[in-house]
A and B are shown apart, each in its own frame.
Chain A
Amino acid sequence: MAALIELRGIGLEVAAPVPTRILHPLALDVAAGTFVAVVGPSGAGKTTLASIVGALQRPSEGSYRYDGDELTGRGLAALARFRAQRLGFVFQGSHLIDERTTLANVELGITTPGVGRPQREATSAEALSWVGLGDDVARRRAGDLSGGERHRVAIARALVKEPQVVIADEPTAALDQPTGQAILALLARATERGATVVVVTHDERAAAMADQVVTLVDGRRT
């Protein structure tokens, strides 16, 4: 199967405040529709790799081809369009806007221009339903949700635009074991919708569920 994501010699070195190598050049192929776990100890460069795969920051070297198209060298606006069209994110802290309703938070994930409010609400409700949250939760303030519910909402927000790739950064870090297991299962199930899922995690259960495990230590792939 051809790789959806192809990294060749991708690395990151920052110049300030002192020249520091964050990620040593590495190669990585990710096939479409797979569940990939990026594991390793703290400071290993897992989140940096995820942020490069997610086009949140540009590498200082190497080549990043996505579905055959070279991404390195593209401008910020082009990368923003790329993220809007292809990627969904689940962050460690779920990052909901507490004052808004659950449904409004999920709506934020719809980046396709010209989608009217009724359609946005219907699509968002459907995404919430997919992660197991009903209409009662949809109308509640996000600030009133439990930790597990918040992560489910974050996953719904990432999936609502049906992205090709979902990148999740430590999605189970702050959750108890059963809830974390449920969230991982939910992310794994996203591959059934055709999404490729890249999970950055310390959680060994994620590695056990993954089609592919990428291990990083001190910025190097091992």
Chain B
Amino acid sequence: MSHGHRATETARLLADAAASLLLRPGHTLGMISGILLGVASAVGAVTIADTQQAQIDLRFDLQRSGIVALEATTPTKAGFPADGIARVAALDPVAAVGELSRWNDRATVAQPAAEDGLLAPVLVGDRGGLDATGTTVVAGAPAAALDDPAATGTAWLGERLAARLGFTDPAAGTATVVVDGVPFTVVGTVRNGGSFGYVSGAVLLSRPSAVAGLRTTGSNVRVMAKVRPGSAAVVADYMLAAVDPTRRLTLENVTPPDGEILLGNVGGDLRRVGAALGGFIGLVGMITVANTLSLSVYQRRRELGLRSAMGWSRRRIGLLVLTESGLAGAVAGVLGSALGVAAAALWCRLHDWELVMARELPLLVVGGAVLASLAGGLLPAVRAASTSPLAAMRS
């Protein structure tokens, strides 16, 4: 068969299978329901797990091994003394040190003309803090501008937040972002693709900007140091004295020794629970497809016998039923993905979280749904293929 003929026949087979599904809506709905629920559960659970993971990251990332984090228990507007930071920076195991504090976890952030804003974290940092956490300036004013005490009224946006707010060119220096009712000129965008991913979804201000512009005080004041692995405990001890020799800030070491393992375990467990739940329901869906399609093949034996009598090969009849199951799986996958994402989005909205979802997840689950449905359709397809052409004569 030529390529053109094959394409025509494939299109005909698809149309035929789609028509068969549409003409039996009850069967089709029954067939796709199991897989649809499986996909929705998997997408919802995995997406919620990812989002939960991001929330855990927000709370714990600052404390990962390889990073020393000191937090001032006494609120301060002035931040950390520059000479103290310089003393830490001079240490051999320290690669970078600086401030990256959370000013407000849930500030209302919006474009000036927008009626509604988004809830997003506001961070306060300097160049050392960005270097220590692996945060880079994607576009606009360099990180060094964060250290300019005279520069107030400016802000950097995490690139994910900039996209959510609808900024087309946030680094041009002409845009304004309103944070809790206070306007800031957007001068650049930042990104953190590593352990401090929440930075990409936050507003970043220099300390002078935050102190001069925002009416609230910061929720915490943290100094971060990126250190050589294995030196965190020693550096932390030194930093406590070096950064605040007068004990004015009442610094506290908030670096847990096993933060990395904790994160990995919690996030991994959540994803596994989601995947297992989706997989189990998907298995039930596969059995549903097998049952429903078997019933359908039994009820359609006259039609299948007719096709066989007219000269359809066993392979083509089997392919028709398999195509029906594959199409049902694809529909279930797409609808299930949408349902799962919607459920996860609703969950996040109720908790004021920003939805985090792996881009490849919908594609993966649709593929999985098609495969599960094809597996469920295999036995009915074999049964259909073995329908005798005499079935048309006898019925």
A and B assemble together? yes
Give the interface of A toward B (CB within 8 A).
47, 50-51, 54, 56-57, 76-77, 80-85, 87-89, 91, 93, 95, 97, 99-100, 104, 108-109, 111, 113-117, 169
A114 lies within 8 A of B314 (CB): no
Q: Is B302 an interface residue when CB atoms closer than 8 A count as contact?
A: yes
Q: Sample 16 A-B pairs with CB under 8 A, ordered by A number.
A: A50-B393, A56-B389, A57-B388, A83-B310, A85-B311, A89-B309, A91-B309, A91-B393, A95-B306, A97-B303, A108-B306, A111-B312, A114-B1, A114-B5, A114-B8, A116-B8
Shortest B382–chain A CB gap in Å is 14
Given contacts A81-B311, A114-B5, contact A169 B19 (CB under 8 A): no
Cα distance A93–B395 in the bound complex, in angstroms = 8
B8 lies within 8 A of A115 (CB): yes
Given contacts A80-B308, A109-B310, A114-B5, contact A89 B392 (CB under 8 A): yes
Measured between beta carbons, the chain A residues less than 8 angstroms from B106 are none
Cα distance A89–B389 in the bound complex, in angstroms = 11
- Chain A residue nearest in CB terms to B386: A76
Q: Is B150 an interface residue when CB atoms closer than 8 A count as contact?
A: no
Shortest B12–chain A CB gap in Å is 7
Question: Binary interface profile of B, 1-28, with partner A (CB < 8 Å = 1, else 0)?
Answer: 1101110110110010001000110000
Which residues of chain B in 344-395 are interfacial with respect to chain A, using CB atoms and an 8 Å cutoff? 388-390, 392-393, 395
- Chain B residue nearest in CB terms to A93: B395
A80 lies within 8 A of B306 (CB): no
- Chain A residue nearest in CB terms to B394: A47
Given contacts A56-B390, A95-B392, A97-B303, contact A84 B310 (CB under 8 A): yes
A111 lies within 8 A of B9 (CB): no
B8 lies within 8 A of A57 (CB): no
A-B contact count (CB 8 A): 82
A87 lies within 8 A of B311 (CB): yes
Q: Is B160 an interface residue when CB atoms closer than 8 A count as contact?
A: no
Q: Give the residue of A51, A80, A97, A117 whose beta carbon is less than 8 angstroms from that of B12.
A: A117
Shortest A10–chain B CB gap in Å is 16
A113 lies within 8 A of B303 (CB): no
B314 lies within 8 A of A77 (CB): yes
Cα distance A87–B306 in the bound complex, in angstroms = 13
Measured between beta carbons, the chain B residues less than 8 angstroms from A47 are 393
Q: Is B313 an interface residue when CB atoms closer than 8 A count as contact?
A: yes
B393 lies within 8 A of A104 (CB): no
Given contacts A113-B1, A113-B5, A114-B9, contact A83 B19 (CB under 8 A): no
Measured between beta carbons, the chain A residues less than 8 angstroms from B5 are 113-114
Q: Give the residue of B19, B309, B313, B314 whose beta carbon is less than 8 angstroms from that of A100.
A: B19
A83 lies within 8 A of B1 (CB): no
Cα distance A144–B256 in the bound complex, in angstroms = 75
- Chain A residue nearest in CB terms to B317: A80
| List of 6 A-B pairs having minimum Cβ-Cβ separation, nearest first | A84-B311, A114-B5, A99-B23, A83-B311, A56-B389, A111-B311
A57 lies within 8 A of B390 (CB): yes
Given contacts A95-B303, A97-B303, A114-B2, contact A56 B309 (CB under 8 A): yes
Q: Is B272 an interface residue when CB atoms closer than 8 A count as contact?
A: no
Measured between beta carbons, the chain A residues less than 8 angstroms from B312 are 80, 84, 111
A113 lies within 8 A of B306 (CB): no
Cα distance A77–B6 in the bound complex, in angstroms = 18
Measured between beta carbons, the chain B residues less than 8 angstroms from A115 are 8
Measured between beta carbons, the chain A residues less than 8 angstroms from B8 are 113-116
- Chain A residue nearest in CB terms to B24: A99
Measured between beta carbons, the chain B residues less than 8 angstroms from A116 are 8
Given contacts A83-B389, A93-B395, contact A54 B310 (CB under 8 A): no
B306 lies within 8 A of A91 (CB): yes
Cα distance A108–B302 in the bound complex, in angstroms = 14
- Chain A residue nearest in CB terms to B2: A114
Cα distance A54–B395 in the bound complex, in angstroms = 16
- Chain B residue nearest in CB terms to A81: B311
Shortest A24–chain B CB gap in Å is 20
B390 lies within 8 A of A51 (CB): yes
Shortest B313–chain A CB gap in Å is 5
Cα distance A84–B317 in the bound complex, in angstroms = 13
Measured between beta carbons, the chain A residues less than 8 angstroms from B392 are 56, 89, 91, 95
Which residues of chain B in 206-252 are interfacial with respect to chain A, using CB atoms and an 8 Å cutoff? none
Measured between beta carbons, the chain A residues less than 8 angstroms from B302 are 93, 95
